Amino acid sequence: ETGVTQTPRHLVMGMTNKKSLKCEQHLGHNAMYWYKQSAKKPLELMFVYSLEERVENNSVPSRFSPECPNSSHLFLHLHTLQPEDSALYLCASSQESVRGGIDEQFFGPGTRLTVL
């Protein structure tokens, strides 16, 4: 257990569906991340939230919409996805000090998404 939980663990959706992925961290961290891991590819950073503000958006298609209502929760809203969006979606958190500096990110177990 890393202190980062993700739900659901598995999700199958059609291309016309709307669904949301949820991430919750119990570590008191102030930064949260969404990553995508496709089969046999490196992890791709999608979004970064620091102090509940989005600070990074790596050219992610608008069919992925993140939301960070507070420092403990992060959502990824999905709509009109494509089959190539099938992947493992990972959430992570870290603590960023006011002086700048983080040591490590703590990852959740991921949501395995299949788009039909």
Partner 1 sequence: DAKTTQPPSMDCAEGRAANLPCNHSTISGNEYVYWYRQIHSQGPQYIIHGLKNNETNEMASLIITEDRKSSTLILPHATLRDTAVYYCIVGPRGYQKVTFGIGTKLQVIP
Residues that bind partner 1 (CB under 8 A): 2, 4, 31, 33, 42-43, 45, 48, 50, 55-56, 88, 90, 92, 94, 96, 100-110, 112
- Shortest distance, CB of residue 48 to partner 1, whole angstroms? 5
* Shorter beta-carbon distance to partner 1: residue 39 or 69: 39
Q: Which two tokens stand for residue 25?
A: 């961290």
| Minimum distance, C-beta of residue 43 to partner 1, in the bound complex (Å) | 4
Closest to 37 (Cα-Cα) out of 112, 89, 111, 109: 89
Asked whether 28 and 95 are in contact (CB, 8 A), the reply is: yes
Shortest gap between Cβ of 16 and partner 1 (angstroms)?
28
Q: Using an 8 Å Cβ cutoff, are 91 and 107 in contact?
A: yes
- Alpha-carbon distance of 68 to 54, in angstroms, equals 8
Q: Smaller CB distance to partner 1: residue 14 or 56?
A: 56
